Structure 1
Amino acid sequence: MAGVAGTKHAAWGAVLCMAVTTSGCATLGSQRLEHDQVDYARSLDRAQKRQTLSNIVNLRYADTPSFLPVTQVIAAYSFDGSANASLTGSTIEGSGTAGTAGASIGYSNHPTFTFTPTTGEEFAAGYIRPLAPALVLPLVQSGVPIDLLLRIVAQSIGDLQNSAALSGANNSGSLGFFELIHTLRRLQLKGALTVRFERAESGNRVFLAIDPTRSDDDAVTADAVTARKLLHIADGTREFEIVYGAVPERGAKVGIVTRSVIGILTEIGAQIEVPEADIVAGATTPTVRLLEVETRPTIIVHVGRQAPPDAYASIVYGNGPQAQCYWIDRRDFDSKFAFSVVQNLIALAETSQSSKAPIVTIPAG
């Protein structure tokens, strides 16, 4: 009888184990959400960084950029289980009893990713049209250094020209442009420069205010005078509107010609180093050399046969023996920060598109 009892216990144990295990299915969805929301967000971030870096290198070699955002992520989980038990015996004394018990559990994950190519009007609106000053300048109030922002997004401010990859001998820009953005940065650090955003029926407007009275430092007053002189606005003017286009003929306004997303990526790509053999062969143009006042590229991109395993972002360009790795060093904070600003600008440009943000759907059953 001890054998019968033991077999019964084993059978009921298998059924009980299955019942306890399947009861955990009710909490599977919430448990997976805690992990998968972060994991998918990190994966999307890495993919976006690689896409941006790939487009920078593509444009450096006059290849067509591609924008393939992830519009949907579906993480489908299945959880299956079964249990069985059987007991056989005989009335003949000494024949004994026999029993079997078993349980099985199955778990699977089948993620589905949806990519939507950006083409036509959405491509033009998001990546070819220049970014509106009222769209990008409020980033200054979020802590983005104004010199970095203007260096990335502005092609010219008034009559001061930024570097331009396709401008021939004058592609390094004007000294006055870099003097202006450095002056504005010093005013920003001293709290003497602010940006004001205004919504209007005719379109959003953005204003820049320079107020040296916020600081007792004489250097701030001198910088305010220099900034107004370079911007061609009257002495004592504290606030002026930033508008797109050439220099306005009258009023407290400053004209700025902004770049498009493709223009931004092209200019950054023109500053990165490439193998000398590619330049000699005519595969790309020589690297744009900056002026003495601004000798560091906006983003330093390294090139070599192999990227370090801990690179901030890396891609491979080319095929076969000509393939090269391009990467951003994870220890280069300035390049990483500038790269994140570029990604934020791309995200702002995409707000005018009809496509929705990535969706993560995780069934809980």
Structure 2
Amino acid sequence: MCPRAVALSFLFAWISAVANGDPSQGVSLPEPCLPGHPCMLALISDNPVTLRCPGAPHQGPLRLKTRMLRGDLRILDPSVEDSGIYTCRRGDAMLAYYEVDFQDAGRLHISHASLGKPPLANTTVELAGGDQRQLFTAWARWQPCDRCGGPGERKRVGFCYAQLASRPQGPLPCGLAGRGLPQRGPELRVESCEVPCDRAYTLSRDEWGKAPLLVITRYRALPYASARLRCPTASIYRYKDPVYWQEGPTALTWLDLHQRNGSISLDKATGGGTLLLSSWNGTDAGYYQCYMGGRLVGRFLVTPPRVLAPAPELTRAYSAIESLVVGLAIFLIFLLFLSILQSCRRKPGTIMA
């Protein structure tokens, strides 16, 4: 196998592994990188990532955008400036080593097959001194279709890599390949798909439905303001359980929103994990749901100021809570009445003074 294929095979295995990690922690790298075997990783800014460190202490001085999770380092909102070397130490012992290239999400190139937009082409750059580097996109595998039983979409993410002609070890993420390279960002490829709902998919939805979703995020949108609806647990890197959105019963796909060209759009930086409502004028009021793998994980109610109709789920929940409080109050009053009655009752043989 050629050096380029060896290097990229690690990338694809890494993306597959992190996609199945704990979704609440963002991306979590599967194995630590040890001295002598440094990991050179390409990631995308604005998307949380967790760097693992085996046997690390659970506390230490951290920046505002990072936190410790059982000894692992979570970067909440990485930027391009956060690219560099990350090491985890216990005394003089090196526990983990990462060299990370956070590629600019603002330069994320999205191409949709149905719109005729092609991915970025490979380019060859000639540097000072006559050295050449080839820039290309290293693609992860396709995610499954985001929904079944109707038109859906599937995605795959790609990272900018550079192959140096004089470096036989293999390609490097563009941000780690040195200066003098033209600006090239990561990619997101989208295409339409349609798959039937098999039995496993139906069972997973039924099992999820046994646990009701009680939390609904409310937004009171101001006129001509914008709102960002972030789907819980969604990640641009996730392979399993891709995210998709609905406005009521209407599916919101990359293709439909592009053709509609309205005030609703999917956020490029998060790969569609965030729904954007721009220049809100009241026509976009209503419920917005996000699903992962066909399971409801978030619901948002967007209304004008001072107009906030409770959701049916909330109405039932409030009614149940009200009934519980009233019943508890009646029970306490009954106990109080019994205690007063007991204290006023004279014992047999007691003589009043």
Q: TM-score range by the shorter chain?
A: under 0.3
Greater helix share, 1 or 2? 1
Q: TM (normalized to structure 2)?
A: 0.22
Which structure would you say has the larger RCO, counting Cα contacts within 8 Å and 6 or more residues apart?
1
Q: Which has the larger radius of gyration?
A: 1
Q: TM (normalized to structure 1)?
A: 0.21
